[in-house]
Structure 1
């Protein structure tokens, strides 16, 4: 029913659907970034749990919506193209991290306004602001495979698989968007609007990449299993190299782990109920 409704609304053109998917996941990033207006000072415990949830969603989506369909449906059971794609995706993120040094989810060393004046602006710290800029670049870089994954999903023509993948990536964009905004506030940016804008900006890269992914696999169908593997490998790299280490350094690893398990459950449910 969901697939039929989406087709009725937007048609069946994979590139158009890729564009719509990119807009939707960017909207989820906007939603997460805007949470700082109502959730002004999320605790490290809450952020670790939320980012753990995002990791669980990405982990399950990598396999159920990219790796397994790539092998079984688009490679006729031959795992080599998808495995090559996974290796290339991980290598791309690894090399990119050399150019944009690790700027983890900047919740360490957080500075709080005085409890009696929770809305008081903090002075801008140039060193921390530089770190935030690196952080936004890093998150933007990590948003790239997510946008690509959605585009590739719709480009495959299998809307039943693409929709849960889109929703999964959109859901996990919420804590990522919030993390960017919190990082900007911790650096002392004087308006929450600018902090939220920083979060939105890091997600906008997903829209053109979703279109590019859909167009590329439509134009050269042989690229599809490689592209699916590439997106999955990049997301797996982000999970292992960034999210897990960061959420296990401040004493809330149990919460982060439970968040990861819950995120995996949510993604599996979406995949089965909507796929």
Structure 2
């Protein structure tokens, strides 16, 4: 209700921020309805952030020689995720998704793509746990537990499969999330679709730092000497957490109601909700 205090001398509303149009209210409701699905991405990327930093630490303790004169920089192995993600995004969009649509008569929905990304990233955590178990066994067999900085006689290539699988999961998850926000947000808010994903990544990296510090204080899994730690236990915890987060995503996806009034579908990529 407008009062005299809301009207200036020219008869205009003096405090327009006190009033919202029905369109603005509807836009806010659309954004809020996507928050549960958006939040599931935080707990999905958090393990990826942890895995990325730990993989560098693992690489430092492994044989990184490529030939006799060149050693792969430990930090550069994260590039495997980016290369894998870029390659599979193109592969999926050009071949896999169109082939799926031809065979089934319907495209993979955006929520299905996001869900597949969840499953694949959880799988990468399980692969990481198994690789770390083998690394620790090699350390035990060579009695290197008490030697900080010792190089384990195990090639750094063992870390590549888990990083490639993360890239595959990212190729499903991130494009699916961006497309979902773009299709569901009203036209005035579509420009922030990419920012929503960037916000997820930023928050996830902060959460991962806090989580690693908490685990370091509560357990002995992350000592200064990684060769005497139990990173495999940490990875299995991340697998369990990822499975719970996937169930949370399924509930959110089941309860979510498509609000895209315009029903925009990209015929080339088969975007659908």
For the criterion TM > 0.5, the same-fold answer is no
- Which of the two has higher C-alpha Rg? 2
TM-score (norm 2): 0.39
Point out which structure has higher relative CO (alpha carbons under 8 A, 6+ apart): 1
Higher helix share: 1
Q: Tell me the TM-score normalized by structure 1.
A: 0.39
